[in-house]
Structure 1
Amino acid sequence: MEDILRPIYQERASQANTLSILSIEKKLHEITITDTFDTVLLVIVKELETPYFIKNYTYDNKKAALHIVREDQLKEWMLLGSNRKIVEWITQGKILFDRNEYMTGLKNELRDFPFYERKIKIGLEFAKLVRRYMEGKAFFENGQHLDAYNYVVHALHHLARLAVIENGFHPEITVWNQVRQIEPEIFKLYEELLTSEESLEKRLELLFIASEFLIHSRTSFGAAHLLEVMEDHDEWTINELLNHPDLEHYNVDLSILLEFLIEKNFVQVINVTTKGPGIFHRHYRVLKKLS
């Protein structure tokens, strides 16, 4: 493979803009890791007109893909978990080129999982968990059991990913293999949802009861990042929170997370008078300090 594809990656390696190049080979039972391609070449660059660029090739009745990604895009994927293959590509990939040991440092960073980055990932995952759980419960209470089932499966995935991060690991694509070892209680919930002979309504009812406990017990941990940011000021508007640089990745999940924290007495609503009689601005204050 390397001999045939060498001209492709050597051209990139000769450019001062290139930070590192990895080769990822397709594995027999994990073909989706490379999107069914026999080889993926991952090129990380400082600058690129678009954040992400792909070229596909054919050689010897095989397929290869060249993925060129800008460094800031790569960092965003790693933080948000929005491209779940990227962690496995970095950890499993073979280094073909590495300027100033860039990739070596990145692999070490993934292995060590810095505390600050972990705290942000926990907050983002917890916010998604709360949204999926609350929306799923609303569907269930309205008798829309199939929609509730879909949302609760997603909620369990976020709960599983949260448990993996809590234990100091990056969630992989095969997250349930990780959770089976790390948090068997969560794995058991997922298994029962899928395999139980109870009616769907009964399965969901039991799952919401169990999930409520698991989510509640993780609230201080899951919301720590948001609450620590909020402790910097006495009061916040929703717009101030949405535009805070440390909270920008929460996006649409921030509002529902705030409402959840109000319900759990972690955040207090402060009503501020407006010009309209009987209408108040809704401000937010941390009620339960973490320290």
Structure 2
Amino acid sequence: MLRPVYQERASLSDTLSVLLIGNQREDDPITDTFDEILLIITSNSDIRIQTKHYSDGQRKAAMHIISEQQLLHWLLVGTNKKIIDWLILGKIYFDRDEYAERLKQRLSKEPLFGRGIKMGMELAKMIRAYNEGKIHFERKQYMDSYLYAITSLHHLARMVAIKHNTLPENTVWSQMKKIDPAVYKLYEELIGSEEELEKRLNLVFLASEFFIHNHTNEASEHLLNILSRKVTWNIQELHEHDELSLYSSDLEFFIEYLIDKRLIETTNVESKNDFLFHREYRIAREY
């Protein structure tokens, strides 16, 4: 049924790989209950995701055309877990320059694709939530502070899971029971203790400060490695970098935190205005 479809796609110069994923049972969630999934990876960045459904009257199939850029985004951010199953389980029907085969090999060696950037993104989100919560705490706005404390611990748990080469699940706190009981205990104290809310929050913020300090060097490696590739960067260049753009609105906040920790330095560059300089960034010389 699908042979003419994938043969047509394989003949296109921008097609990198064609994989076929068959279902293991009728209600198989990996194939979204379809009998077959045809996954086509293209180098054409104009096509992010394109989907078509087919049927021969009895069976049904879905074809997903995704750009290499979108595929790498999913793998790095971890927002589409089934794509990893498709790559691992898929039977390769066309593979330009062994693109899919090399990707499969990398996934088998590195199950948690992009571990460094994942840790960095979670630390950046944790620090932002921690700071927001601490501000509300100091203003005695304890309920608002509580919401940020929960968010901060959630990103801590995800970061710890990633550190242990485990993809964070929706049930991340069940994971923490096994992976890091100390982090789970902190969460349990916050939501279940009979202590006054003020005392619980104070404990969480003290502990969060400790965890942030302990994970900063490892979780910032990805960002610092990219900075080391050039002498200096302006903020627009950092935002436009393919991987750093995934930090989104947390990027500048994270950079300022790393400046405070003396892992990043700033330098002033002349501008057209005699009274203003462009602020640029570089990796700290001591790093």
TM-score above 0.5, yes or no: yes
> Aligned partners of 2:140, 2:37: CA distance in 1, in Å?
48
> Aligned partners of 1:24, 1:137: CA distance in 2, in Å?
49
Aligned AA (1:99): F
What's the RMSD between the two structures over aligned residues? Answer: 4.0
* Residues 87-106 of structure 1: CA deviation (Å, up to 9, x unaligned): 45555xx4355434765543
What is the total number of aligned residue pairs between the two structures?
A: 276
2:235 aligned with 1:238 = yes
* Residues 178-201 of structure 1: CA deviation (Å, up to 9, x unaligned): 433332222322333333333444
Contact 1:20 1:102 in 2 (8 A): no
Unmatched runs of 5 consecutive residues or more in structure 2: none
> Aligned partners of 1:126, 1:265: CA distance in 2, in Å?
17
Tell me the CA shift for residue 123 of structure 1: 2.7
Structure 2 equivalent of residue 4 of structure 1: none
Relative distance call for 1:14 and 1:172 in structure 2 (3 A) is farther
Superposition map of 1:99-110 within 5 A = 99-100=94-95, 105-110=102-107
Contact 1:21 1:98 in 2 (8 A): yes
Tell me the CA shift for residue 220 of structure 1: 1.0
Superposition map of 1:1-291 within 5 A = 7=1, 9-10=2-3, 12-15=5-8, 16=10, 17=15, 19-23=18-22, 37-39=32-34, 41=37, 43-46=39-42, 50-55=47-52, 67-87=64-84, 90=87, 94-95=89-90, 98-100=93-95, 105-113=102-110, 117-244=114-241, 247-270=244-267, 275=273, 277=275, 281-287=278-284, 289-290=286-287
Q: TM-score, normalised by structure 2?
A: 0.73
Relative distance call for 1:102 and 1:187 in structure 2 (3 A) is farther
Aligned AA (1:22): I
Tell me the CA shift for residue 218 of structure 1: 1.0
Contact 1:19 1:102 in 2 (8 A): no
Q: TM-score, normalised by structure 1?
A: 0.72
Contact 1:95 1:103 in 2 (8 A): no
Relative distance call for 1:187 and 1:59 in structure 2 (3 A) is farther
> Aligned partners of 2:26, 2:156: CA distance in 1, in Å?
28
> Aligned partners of 1:105, 1:233: CA distance in 2, in Å?
28
